[in-house]
């Protein structure tokens, strides 16, 4: 650490770190100074294997030369172009590429910089769409308990993670939440989509009864809840949500910020389930994490409804200074090339079964109370410490990083493994072995 901090630990004070236990971090920092392939380099010169693709974004592995070159070329050619009333050609190229790999019918994309912005964009588009159709009273949204849709007020409101909401007042009005689809007593140690829980989708019918379908704008869900700890949808659950929303003119928004770009063995989870939602939000893997870019894919019906009004005025009063930033756009185009050329989504589909088998081996450890593999993602719940929720989880995070050269995302007492899709079986076995050591060290 010392070699990177000229004035010692006081240098850590100014940076207020996001979603971080700041005081604990600054007592014992975890500093990353480089990355290549499956590994990070730490400030004390260790190679740490990346078991969660950074924050679920580095799907093609770290330090990809093609992406670096594309960003470099863009930066030296066009540092910035105004995104309001002007554009640069690569923004259109990227939009066409993304629409080309999206589920049929999602023909337009609105660019943002983060998943949070993409979700808030989707919520605003849903409101503008209903208003455009003369149904401006459709202002209610339905999210789900344990859902994570970022930190903007829209995403926070439809999101269902109590700690994230607690300090921020009443949030948006008119929001309900479906029950979480997770029930350990029925689903523990399920591989893939659990058998139990399909009927939980019928709660949507109850909310429609309560509020009236004509007051509801949209349902927002992650196909697989990711940040909360990887909760796969019960078999038939998403299909039921699609059928109910469809029959009542309610939009269905899939937040695919994690599930997009191969995590579940498909370009989007929508494809895995054979469904077309009305909007899909994407971010993270679209640039392999190399630059910030996000988007909201939108159906033609929605787009056409909003493309009205005087032609000299914006149809939607919404956008970001850095929507489709040239550097991010270049990074995304190079990333999509890699995904295609290396068939990484197909590779993820092939790895799903061996990955699940390796993760399920942890079942024999007494501290492990559930394992939920799906695609190239797996939630592992550990028995909380008697000292309180999250205490043991934090210990797992620290011990993995400092003692076992393993980076893993931990939330509460749940570890989420989501390795880069370039992982070999040997890499996956190394991740398993280090996890075993780290978990065993907790007693």
Residue with smaller CB distance to ligand PLP, 123 or 371: 123
Least distance in angstroms from the C-beta of 226 to ligand PLP: 5
Least distance in angstroms from the C-beta of 250 to ligand PLP: 20
Going by the DSSP 8-state scheme, the letter that residue 267 receives in this structure is S
Query: Starting at the edge strand that comes first in sequence, how are the strands of the sheet with 140-144 ordered?
Result: 106-112, 294-299, 279-282, 251-255, 216-221, 140-144, 175-178
Least distance in angstroms from the C-beta of 419 to ligand PLP: 17
Least distance in angstroms from the C-beta of 308 to ligand PLP: 29
Residue with smaller CB distance to ligand PLP, 60 or 358: 60
Least distance in angstroms from the C-beta of 310 to ligand PLP: 33
Task: Indicate the residue whose CB is closest to ligand PLP.
Answer: 115
Distance separating alpha carbons of residues 396 and 51, to the nearest angstrom: 13
C-alpha 204, offset from chain centre: 23
Residue with smaller CB distance to ligand PLP, 255 or 381: 255
Quickly list DSSP for 131-167. Answer: HHTT-TT--EEEEETT----SSHHHHHH---HHHHTT
Least distance in angstroms from the C-beta of 256 to ligand PLP: 7
Least distance in angstroms from the C-beta of 425 to ligand PLP: 27
Contact (CB, 8 A) for 63 and 35: yes
Give φ, ψ of 101 to 5 degrees.
Answer: -105, 0
The residue ranges of DSSP E strands in 184-324, in sequence order, are 216-221, 251-255, 279-282, 294-299
409-411 and 414-417 strand pairing: antiparallel
For helices 89-101 and 326-341, give the axis angle rounded to 10 degrees.
40
Residue with smaller CB distance to ligand PLP, 244 or 283: 283
Least distance in angstroms from the C-beta of 56 to ligand PLP: 7
Question: Which residues contribute to the site for ligand PLP (CB under 6 A)?
Answer: 114-116, 119, 148-150, 222, 226-227, 255, 257-258, 283
Residue with smaller CB distance to ligand PLP, 283 or 378: 283
Residue with smaller CB distance to ligand PLP, 157 or 227: 227
Burial class (CB in 10 A: 0-12, 13-18, 19+), 237: buried
Residue with smaller CB distance to ligand PLP, 231 or 344: 231
- Which residues are paired to 34 by β-bridges? 41
Contact (CB, 8 A) for 393 and 411: yes
373 contact partners, CB below 8 Å, separation of at least 6: 191, 192, 352, 355, 356, 359, 360
- Which residues are paired to 274 by β-bridges? none
Least distance in angstroms from the C-beta of 234 to ligand PLP: 18
Residue with smaller CB distance to ligand PLP, 57 or 70: 57
Least distance in angstroms from the C-beta of 52 to ligand PLP: 11
Distance separating alpha carbons of residues 145 and 166, to the nearest angstrom: 14
Least distance in angstroms from the C-beta of 18 to ligand PLP: 8
Residue with smaller CB distance to ligand PLP, 273 or 368: 273
Distance separating alpha carbons of residues 212 and 140, to the nearest angstrom: 10
Contact (CB, 8 A) for 257 and 294: yes
Residue with smaller CB distance to ligand PLP, 124 or 437: 124
Contact (CB, 8 A) for 378 and 417: yes
Residue with smaller CB distance to ligand PLP, 294 or 362: 294
B/e letters for 14-43, b = 16+ CB within 10 Å, e = fewer, are eeeeeeeeeeeebeebbeeeebebbbbebb
């Amino acid at each position: 650490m010392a070699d990177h901090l000229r004035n010692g630990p006081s240098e850590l004070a100014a940076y207020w770190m996001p979603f971080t236990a700041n005081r604990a971090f600054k007592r014992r920092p975890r500093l990353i100074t480089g990355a290549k392939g499956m590994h990070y380099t730490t400030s004390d010169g260790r190679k740490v294997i990346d078991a969660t693709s950074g924050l679920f974004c580095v799907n093609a592995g770290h330090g990809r030369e093609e992406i670096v070159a594309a960003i470099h070329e863009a930066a030296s050619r066009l540092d910035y172009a105004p995104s309001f009333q002007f554009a640069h050609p690569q923004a259109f190229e990227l939009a066409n590429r993304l629409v080309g790999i999206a589920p049929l019918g999602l023909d337009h994309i609105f660019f943002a910089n983060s998943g949070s912005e993409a979700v808030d964009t989707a919520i605003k588009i849903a409101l503008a769409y209903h208003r455009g159709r003369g149904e401006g009273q459709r202002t209610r949204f339905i999210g789900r308990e344990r859902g994570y849709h970022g930190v903007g007020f829209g995403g926070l409101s439809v999101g269902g993670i109590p700690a994230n909401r607690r300090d921020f007042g009443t949030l948006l009005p008119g929001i309900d939440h479906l029950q979480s689809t997770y029930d350990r007593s029925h689903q523990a140690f399920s591989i893939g989509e659990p058998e139990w829980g399909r009927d939980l989708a019928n709660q949507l019918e109850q909310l429609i009864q309560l509020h009236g379908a004509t007051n509801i704008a949209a349902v927002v869900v992650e196909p697989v809840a990711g940040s909360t700890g990887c909760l796969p949808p019960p078999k038939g659950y998403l299909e039921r949500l699609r059928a109910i929303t469809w029959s009542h003119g309610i939009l269905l928004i899939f937040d695919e910020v994690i599930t997009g770009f191969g995590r579940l063995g498909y370009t989007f989870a929508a494809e895995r389930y054979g469904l077309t939602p009305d909007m899909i939000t994407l971010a993270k893997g679209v640039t392999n994490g190399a630059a910030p870019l996000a988007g909201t894919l939108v159906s033609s019906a929605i787009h056409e409804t909003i493309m009205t009004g005087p032609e000299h005025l914006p149809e939607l009063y919404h956008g970001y200074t850095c929507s489709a930033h040239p550097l991010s756009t270049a990074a995304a185009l190079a990333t999509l090339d890699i995904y295609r050329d290396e068939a990484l989504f197909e590779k993820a589909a092939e790895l799903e079964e061996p990955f699940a088998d390796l993760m399920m081996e942890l079942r024999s450890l007494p501290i492990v109370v559930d394992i939920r593999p799906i695609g190239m993602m797996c939630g592992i719940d550990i028995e909380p410490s008697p000292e309180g929720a999250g205490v043991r989880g934090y210990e797992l995070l620290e011990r993995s990083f400092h003692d076992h050269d393993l980076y893993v995302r931990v939330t509460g007492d749940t570890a989420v493994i989501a390795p880069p899709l370039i992982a070999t079986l040997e890499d996956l076995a190394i991740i398993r072995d280090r996890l075993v050591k780290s978990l065993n060290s907790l007693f």
